[in-house]
Chains A and B, each alone.
Chain A
């Protein structure tokens, strides 16, 4: 296996890794706040909103991500009448599916975090005169993040690997280029390299979360 060959397949694979990382970043950045809003909706005293959010989470967690991907990329344009307005760039449609799916998982993680905050925290904030917004942003969210971090880290690692599902909707990413090289050159080396690149990404991610956990550590 010549270094030249390795370099020649590495280049398109790194190109593919860019799509992988881009999807990951979009999904994380959009689905975490969306997930938190969903948690608030679930906990809302306005029952229809809570019911709607619960149904949404049930749908998103109860069906395969792959099905959702296919639905958004290939299914939406087939809807009668409005379908033609729902044609998106495949990457954009896939990213949307990831965001909507992961938001549901993050919502459940945040809900768990909220449940573990002692009711005395809210009471102390109230008697000190803090309003709802101040209590949420200064007392609740920082404690919730700290509790949710390990689960968030876990879910993020899963997300990195789930980006490989882009392969199924023909958006070129890391795995796509590996597979192409395997088919073309009859060698498993590209698979091994793809595996190493995924490991590298998850290693960096793990370090970032370790750092975050240290930063939010207060016990």
Chain B
């Protein structure tokens, strides 16, 4: 059984259909890169998995448990339970500016899981070293660079020990010279077999790290395949046109 199973996902904003019957599966340990022009529905699709958007039709199952079945959402406690298995990293980091790095990391596990201080402290140290920011433990987000903020955001998501990590254009808000450090961390996670869905414009990341690529346009998945193959030899004209534009 697929870890993420999406069938006929549908969503509109007013008259505009942003997601038209999207169907796809993600297996455990897969790293899926979602590419496509802006306005194609990539972010909405991702946000729907994290229940930041509600879909109007279709089914989303996480490890067999239905978040939505045929357009009908599960109960609130059920949704929260499923949500605990999913972490998310945002384009604009969304760190809590009034809290230090350590407090940003500790808040959710403390409040939601009631984790003990000692366990938290060792996990914070471990995760901050993993993202290369052990020395920033007491810094406030305002004193970090964009790349550092995003690495803290990744560590914060990992604190909740999610089984699936969603990335919504994690490097799009960064200066070009800062994207590398974030992609490096994501690559490390992929090597540790974290299941990830990454909406991205970084074609090299898609090619080198992802195990599967989805190309979306106009609210549909136009093409799906092994990244190295799809990015070099796309079968669909829309994919070809998009890649020709982005790869230049």
Residues of A at the B interface (CB closer than 8 Å) are 118, 120-121, 123-124, 126-131, 134, 138-139, 142-143, 146, 216, 218-219
Q: Once the chains are docked, how many angstroms separate the CA of A3 from the CA of B111?
A: 61
Q: How many A-B residue pairs have CB under 8 A?
A: 61
Instruction: Tell me whether A124 and B52 are in contact in the complex, defined as CB-CB below 8 angstroms, given that A129-B108, A130-B111 are known contacts.
Output: no
- Tell whether B96 is near chain A: CB-to-CB under 8 Å: yes
Interchain Cβ contacts under 8 Å between A and B, 23 examples = A118-B94, A120-B92, A124-B88, A124-B90, A124-B95, A126-B51, A127-B88, A128-B108, A128-B112, A128-B157, A129-B80, A129-B160, A130-B111, A130-B112, A134-B112, A138-B111, A143-B96, A143-B97, A218-B97, A218-B98, A218-B99, A218-B142, A219-B142
User: Nearest Cβ in chain A — how far from B238, in angstroms?
Assistant: 30
User: Nearest Cβ in chain A — how far from B111, in angstroms?
Assistant: 5
Residues of B within 8 A of A138 (CB): 107, 111
User: Nearest Cβ in chain A — how far from B175, in angstroms?
Assistant: 19
User: Nearest Cβ in chain A — how far from B197, in angstroms?
Assistant: 13
- Say whether A121 contacts B52, CB under 8 Å: no
Q: Once the chains are docked, how many angstroms separate the CA of A208 from the CA of B52?
A: 40
Q: Name the contact of A126 in the complex, choosing from B52, B96, B97 (C-beta under 8 A).
A: B52
Q: Name the contact of A218 in the complex, choosing from B83, B87, B140, B156 (C-beta under 8 A).
A: B140
| Smallest Cβ-Cβ distance to A135: which chain B residue | B111
User: Nearest Cβ in chain B — how far from A114, in angstroms?
Assistant: 14
- Tell whether B84 is near chain A: CB-to-CB under 8 Å: yes
Q: Once the chains are docked, how many angstroms separate the CA of A143 from the CA of B99?
A: 10
Residues of A within 8 A of B127 (CB): none
Q: Name the contact of A123 in the complex, choosing from B90, B98, B108, B112 (C-beta under 8 A).
A: B90
5 closest cross-chain pairs (CB), A and B: A124-B94, A128-B108, A120-B94, A129-B112, A127-B88
Chain B residues 21-49 with CB under 8 Å of chain A are: none
Q: Once the chains are docked, how many angstroms separate the CA of A124 from the CA of B112?
A: 14
- Tell whether B86 is near chain A: CB-to-CB under 8 Å: yes
Instruction: Determine the main DSSP class of A at the interface with B.
Output: helix
Q: Once the chains are docked, how many angstroms separate the CA of A129 from the CA of B98?
A: 19
User: Nearest Cβ in chain B — how far from A215, in angstroms?
Assistant: 11
- Say whether B87 contacts A127, CB under 8 Å: yes
Instruction: Tell me whether A134 and B111 are in contact in the complex, defined as CB-CB below 8 angstroms, given that A124-B90, A129-B80, A129-B83 are known contacts.
Output: yes
Residues of B within 8 A of A139 (CB): 96
Q: Name the contact of A219 in the complex, choosing from B84, B97, B112, B156 (C-beta under 8 A).
A: B97
Residues of A within 8 A of B140 (CB): 218-219
User: Nearest Cβ in chain B — how far from A172, in angstroms?
Assistant: 43
- Say whether B142 contacts A123, CB under 8 Å: no
User: Nearest Cβ in chain B — how far from A217, in angstroms?
Assistant: 10
Q: Name the contact of B50 in the complex, choosing from A127, A131, A216, A218 (C-beta under 8 A).
A: A127
- Say whether A146 contacts B98, CB under 8 Å: yes
| Smallest Cβ-Cβ distance to A133: which chain B residue | B111
| Smallest Cβ-Cβ distance to B97: which chain A residue | A218
Instruction: Tell me whether A129 and B84 are in contact in the complex, defined as CB-CB below 8 angstroms, given that A123-B90, A218-B140, A219-B142 are known contacts.
Output: yes
| Smallest Cβ-Cβ distance to B84: which chain A residue | A129
- Given A120-B90, A129-B112, A219-B97, 4 other A-B contacts at CB below 8 A? A124-B94, A129-B160, A218-B142, A219-B142
Q: Once the chains are docked, how many angstroms separate the CA of A139 from the CA of B9?
A: 32
Chain B residues 124-161 with CB under 8 Å of chain A are: 140, 142, 156-157, 160
Q: Kindly name the residue among B97, B156, B157 whose own CB sees the greatest number of chain A CB atoms within 10 A.
A: B97
Residues of A within 8 A of B92 (CB): 118, 120
User: Nearest Cβ in chain A — how far from B162, in angstroms?
Assistant: 9
Q: Once the chains are docked, how many angstroms separate the CA of A130 from the CA of B111?
A: 7
| Smallest Cβ-Cβ distance to B88: which chain A residue | A127
Residues of A within 8 A of B112 (CB): 128-130, 134
User: Nearest Cβ in chain A — how far from B245, in angstroms?
Assistant: 29
